[in-house]
């Protein structure tokens, strides 16, 4: 009998608890349903900068009067000159929704930083640069080259900017214009940058592997921190910590210029040949294609040079000089110092030339040598005290690069 009484009491208790819980849940749902959405405190006017548009006209479109426009311009001047805004970018004017007063201005300086001009509590304005915060996804791409790196990547719908970045990593080791072979393979791991869920651009290449004519080259990005001047110490290094950067670039015509025209690469007009006296490499390229100095140095000749036509010669050190001939335009002067990658002129067909091309020579101790085969060591490396940290940092990327090679 007692057993049944206890059972009945238990059933009553459970029913009561269920009713209380159901009532509270329903009450909570009613409260949630009745709660108003959060109030907006600001609105944003976004102005797309058109060609010939000034900061003044953009501000006027956003409803900013001349006095405030001048205040914004003067406040930002030491951080970024807003008179230099560029077409295609956007200015964001953020207003207080209650007072309809401007609270801040935002402008993208470049892909890494934005300018903020912010109203302070005392009514004054403050300008500052802020690093853009991207959402990062890691992507891996690999392939086998049939005609060019560019075409191989496009076939996989890879952002061409990522391919140009890859070519930049190996610019000292691989001639992407003329040194690519059918069957070469590549694999690289890189960042993709997103904002507000939208893909923006490729970011840093983390690790990359290229097999060119049987020669395996690997590069890993590593950041050692800052030097005493606050400059970043970083770069791409092989597995032993030696920098991929060398005294000379492999190609005097940057890959970004030959890929932008949807070409399959440059081609030889004629190659280095001692027997015929043609001790140079000729790169066929469209007239006007930019030519870059393959290394740091000083211009020792810039002008007309007989059969060479418009001619530039750069002395790099006591051993090496490079020569660039048949130019349509010369961008440097005698005695000028140039850095690796600087544009020193443009491809042309001046002098004794049958068509647009760059005649390129490397001279070592007054003797012309074959630019295609010269291989100079790097004089840069990860600092000895950071070497073990570097090797530990790249282990997982080494494993990822070497897994399931294409081909």
Q: Are 156 and 106 in contact (CB under 8 A)?
A: no
The three-state secondary structure class of 204 is strand
Q: What is the pLDDT along the chain (407 residues), one digit of tens a residue?
A: 555 555 555 555 555 555 544 455 454 444 445 455 555 788 999 999 999 999 999 999 999 999 999 999 999 999 999 999 999 999 999 999 999 999 999 999 999 999 999 999 999 999 999 999 999 999 999 999 988 888 888 888 899 899 989 999 999 998 887 778 899 999 999 999 999 899 999 999 999 999 998 999 999 999 998 888 878 889 999 999 999 999 999 889 877 765 433 333 444 445 555 444 567 888 888 899 999 999 999 999 999 999 999 999 999 999 999 999 999 999 999 999 999 999 999 999 999 998 999 999 999 999 999 887 887 888 899 999 999 999 999 999 999 998 876 55
Chosen CATH of 255-369 out of 3.40.50.150, 2.70.70.10, 3.40.50.720, 3.30.1340.10? 2.70.70.10
- Rounded CA-CA distance 292/7 in Å is 92
Element (H, E) at 213: none
CA distance 369 to 321: 11
DSSP for 215-263?
Answer: EEEEEEEEEEEE-TTS-EEEEEE-TTSBBS--SS-S-SS-HHHHHTTT-
DSSP, collapsed to helix, strand or coil, labels residue 158 as: coil
User: What is the torsional sign of CA 53, 54, 57, 63?
Assistant: positive
Would you say the pTM of this structure is higher than 0.85? no
**Residue the block writes with tokens 């002395």:** 315
Phi, psi of 213 (to 5 degrees): 55, 40
Equal fold, 135-245+380-402 vs 255-369: no
Please identify which residue in the block is written with the tokens 């080791």: 173
Q: Distance between CA atoms of 242 and 157, rounded to whole angstroms? A: 32
Taking the C-alpha atoms of residue 94 and residue 117, their distance in angstroms, rounded to an integer, is: 10
Backbone phi, then psi, for 334, in 5-degree steps? -55, 135
- The CATH number of domain 42-131 is 3.10.450.350: yes
- Rounded-to-integer distance, Cα 290 and Cα 395, Å: 39
SS3 154: helix
Integer angstrom CA distances of residue 69 from 44, 83, 314: 16, 11, 48
Rounded Cα distance, 179 and 185, in Å: 13
CA distances from 167 to 68, 153, 164, 308 (A): 46, 12, 5, 30
Here the tokens at position 239 are: 């597995």
Of 248, 281, 252, nearest to 369 by C-alpha is 281
* Backbone phi, psi, residue 349, to 5°: -145, 45
CATH topology of domain 135-245+380-402: Nuclear Transport Factor 2; Chain: A, (3.10.450)
Domain ranges of the chain: 42-131, 135-245+380-402, 255-369
């Amino acid at each position: 009998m007692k057993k049944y009484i206890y059972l009945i009491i238990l059933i009553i208790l459970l029913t009561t608890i269920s009713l209380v819980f159901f009532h509270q849940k329903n009450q909570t749902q009613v409260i949630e349903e009745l709660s108003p959405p959060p109030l907006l405190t600001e609105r944003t006017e976004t102005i797309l900068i058109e060609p010939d548009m000034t900061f003044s006209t953009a501000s006027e479109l956003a409803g900013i009067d001349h006095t405030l426009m001048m205040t914004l311009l003067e406040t930002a001047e030491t951080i970024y000159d807003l008179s230099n805004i560029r077409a295609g970018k956007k200015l964001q004017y953020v207003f207080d929704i209650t007072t309809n007063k401007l609270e801040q201005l935002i402008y993208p300086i470049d892909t890494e930083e934005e300018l903020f001009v912010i109203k302070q509590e005392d009514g004054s304005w403050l300008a500052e640069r802020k690093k853009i915060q991207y959402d990062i996804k890691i992507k891996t791409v690999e392939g086998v080259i049939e005609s060019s790196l560019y075409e191989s990547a496009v076939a996989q719908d890879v952002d061409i900017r990522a391919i140009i970045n890859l070519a930049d990593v190996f610019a000292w080791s691989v001639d992407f214009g003329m040194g690519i072979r059918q069957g070469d393979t590549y694999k690289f791991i890189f960042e993709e940058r997103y904002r507000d869920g939208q893909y923006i651009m490729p970011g840093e290449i983390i690790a990359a592997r290229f097999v060119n004519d049987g020669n395996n080259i690997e590069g890993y990005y590593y950041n050692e921190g800052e030097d005493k001047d606050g400059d970043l110490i970083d770069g791409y290094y092989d597995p032993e910590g030696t920098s991929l950067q060398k005294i000379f670039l492999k190609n005097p015509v940057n890959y970004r210029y030959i890929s932008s025209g949807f070409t399959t690469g440059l081609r030889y007009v004629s190659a280095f040949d001692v027997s015929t006296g043609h001790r140079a490499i000729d790169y066929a390229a469209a007239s006007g294609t930019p030519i870059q100095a393959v290394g740091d140095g000083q211009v020792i000749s810039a002008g007309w040079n007989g059969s060479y036509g418009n001619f530039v010669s750069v002395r790099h050190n006591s051993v090496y000089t490079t020569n660039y001939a048949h130019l349509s335009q010369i961008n440097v002067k005698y005695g000028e110092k140039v850095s690796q990658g600087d544009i020193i002129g443009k491809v042309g067909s001046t002098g004794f030339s049958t068509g647009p091309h760059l005649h390129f020579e490397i001279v070592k101790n007054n003797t012309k040598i074959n630019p295609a085969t010269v291989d100079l060591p790097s004089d840069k490396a990860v600092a000895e005290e950071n070497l073990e940290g570097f090797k530990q940092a790249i282990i997982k990327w080494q494993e990822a690069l070497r897994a399931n090679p294409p081909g």
